[in-house]
Amino acid sequence: MQDPAHPDKPFVQQSGSFAGFFLGMTSLRAPAGQKTDPGTYVDATRFPYVVLPSGFSRLVNVAKIGDVGFATHLDSGKTTAFIVGDSGGGDDAKLGECSVALFAALGGTNPNPRNGAGVPSGKIQYILFPGSRMPGNGIWPRTQADIDTQVSALLAKTPGISKAGV
């Protein structure tokens, strides 16, 4: 994001836990939130979320920003509910870019978004629920407990899926 006072420079957070760092914007954001307020966006350290490849938005019947899902680390069996928090990476990108919180929930140790260190090794299965985003202005902010409850209800309606862990 551009600094409103200096449009030729990126915006650097002035206070809070990440003072001195650039503001990490996500496509999922509070509709009335200030662009320069980190609380407007999904916090990658607190909320498990996935980033959809930008080409997904042109496909029919696929998840969109604000939809929810369920991830399973196939080697360890660890699971987490998540929200679709962003898109990017171009049309050829693969699903797999996720928040620090998602990788930590699946067994990662201090996942590093810059170099991938600490991300759990092995395969991760993602189940996305297209059309599951909350209507109106309820898309964001949400609580993790609310996301967990919604995903549990969706899993209960989905035959053949283990519901352990949510």
Inter-CA distances, 79 with 105, 106, 119, Å: 7, 6, 14
All structural domains of the chain: 42-156 (2.40.40)
**Omega prior to 48 cis, within 30 of 0:** no
- Name the β-bridge partners of 10: 2
pTM of the model: 0.86
**Does position 21 have pLDDT exceeding 70, yes or no?**
no
pLDDT score of 136 more than 80: no
Can you give the pLDDT at residue 49?
96
C-alpha–C-alpha distance, residues 125 and 155, integer Å: 14
* Residues 59-116: tens digit of each pLDDT: 888 899 999 999 999 999 999 999 999 988 777 777 778 999 999 999 999 998 888 8
pLDDT tens, 145-160?
A: 999 999 999 999 988 7
